[in-house]
Amino acid sequence: MGTSCPAYDKDARAPERLQQEARLRLGPPALAQTSGIYREQSPPAALAFHFKCLWLHRMPDGAPSSIAVVPDGCSDIIWSSKGLAIVGPDRIAAFPELPAGETIIGARFRIGAAASWLRTPLREMTGQTVPLHLVWGPATNEIEARIRDAASTPERLGVLAAALLGRLSAAEPPPPPDIAACVAHLQVGRSTVDDAIRTLVREIGTSERTLRRHCHEHLGYGAKTLGRILRLQRFLAACRSRPGDTLANLAVDAGYADQAHLAREARGLTSFTPREIQRQLAARFGIGRVENFRTTT
């Protein structure tokens, strides 16, 4: 595990340093969802329990693009001109540099579903992009060839979906109930993460130690980290749906204690200030255009 893949690649260095380097070479990085063309579609019904969506992302023509891929708690199987790979869950934003006009397609796992499907603990993939052949073996070569030979991006997505359907029977049973309950508690976001975990432990009769172990296996990190990421995603969704609202209102509605709390968390997870995030999302998903984007949270 851990071999790098050129598409949507990760780097272990601090995001601030990556952003500074990108600014010198390519100008300020843009949030991934504001750069180029991004579209989602529902997966085939048989895959819907495991996968949230199929998606495509086409980079703008012209110069290479530097983008910020903000953590969302999910893992993806992706294909680009460089091949198939698994993108593990992120703790902080990744700053890949992509060729002009590059088109990436992917299948996004539901939070907590990837480890069972891949038969690999997610803690081994956190913050990494792993070539798919290291997990699926030689069969990956045939799938890559069929995707590459497809005549259009929709056909490539169809080939990827068919390959996933073909491996459905090999997927392990779903994650343990405590993981599904943990994710559901954190997605609601009506209490602090510590309160949610204590409540969950009491309700399902497990221990914090067992829950922590299951989280690292099925989520890639602990529940507290996932809680921070889902709270950030609620802020991003609020910025898209209410582009003219104040940061103070958006912060409280997303579950932050106050605007200062939002500022610290946004910087730590993305390297952007909340104002920069709001400005980019408002420019792309302003009034009258929000409905064209499907949230990834």
Co-location of 184 and 156 in the same domain: no
3-state helix, strand, coil in the chain (%, to 5): 50, 15, 35
Please give the full DSSP string across 66-134, using - where no structure is assigned. EEEB---S--EEEEETTEEEEEPPPSS-B--EE-TT-EEEEEEEPTTTHHHHHTS-GGGTTT-EEETHH
CATH number at 248 reads 1.10.10.60
Number of domains in the chain: 2
- Statement: residue 66 has pLDDT above 90: no
Residue 90 lies in a domain: yes
Lowest mean pLDDT across 1-5, 19-23, 77-81 = 1-5
Instruction: Work out the mean pLDDT of the chain and round it to a whole number.
Output: 85
Structure confidence by residue, pLDDT tens digits, 224-252: 999 999 999 999 999 999 999 999 999 99
Lowest mean pLDDT across 85-89, 97-101, 136-140 = 97-101
Co-location of 148 and 85 in the same domain: yes
**59-62 long-range contacts, CB within 8 A, separation 24+:** 59/35, 59/98, 59/99, 59/100, 59/101, 59/102, 59/103, 60/35, 60/36, 60/100, 60/101, 61/100, 61/101, 62/100
Q: Which amino acid is at 273?
A: T
pLDDT at 39: 95
Co-location of 78 and 20 in the same domain: yes
Residue 112 lies in a domain: yes
Burial class for 12, CB neighbours closer than 10 Å (0-12, 13-18, 19+): exposed
Structure confidence by residue, pLDDT tens digits, 111-158: 999 999 999 999 999 999 999 999 999 999 999 999 999 999 999 999
39 touches 45 (CB < 8 A)? no
Cα–Cα dist 140/44, whole Å: 21
Co-location of 212 and 90 in the same domain: no
pLDDT at 196: 66
pLDDT at 18: 54
What DSSP character marks residue 44?
A: P
The most confident of 21-25, 177-181, 187-191, 201-205, by mean pLDDT:
177-181
Burial class for 277, CB neighbours closer than 10 Å (0-12, 13-18, 19+): buried
**Bridge partners for 83 per DSSP:** 80
Structure confidence by residue, pLDDT tens digits, 194-219: 666 777 778 777 888 888 999 999 99
The H or E element spanning position 243 is: none
Structure confidence by residue, pLDDT tens digits, 257-290: 999 999 999 999 999 999 999 999 999 887 444 3
Nearest to 58 by CA among 99, 9, 108, 5: 99
214 touches 179 (CB < 8 A)? yes
Looking at 136, 167, 198, the residue that finishes a domain is: 167
pLDDT at 176: 84
- Helix, coil or strand: residue 11: coil
The most confident of 8-22, 86-100, 203-217, by mean pLDDT:
86-100
**Backbone phi and psi for residue 11, each to the nearest 5 degrees, phi listed first:** -140, 135
pLDDT at 3: 41
Domain range for 245 is 177-284
What burial letters (b/e) apply to 28-41, b meaning 16+ CB within 10 Å? ebbbbbbbbebbbe
Co-location of 42 and 150 in the same domain: yes
pLDDT at 293: 34
Percent of the chain with pLDDT over 70: 83
Co-location of 255 and 141 in the same domain: no
- Statement: residue 2 has pLDDT above 60: no
Helix axis angle, 223-241 to 208-218, nearest 10°? 60
Residue 275 lies in a domain: yes
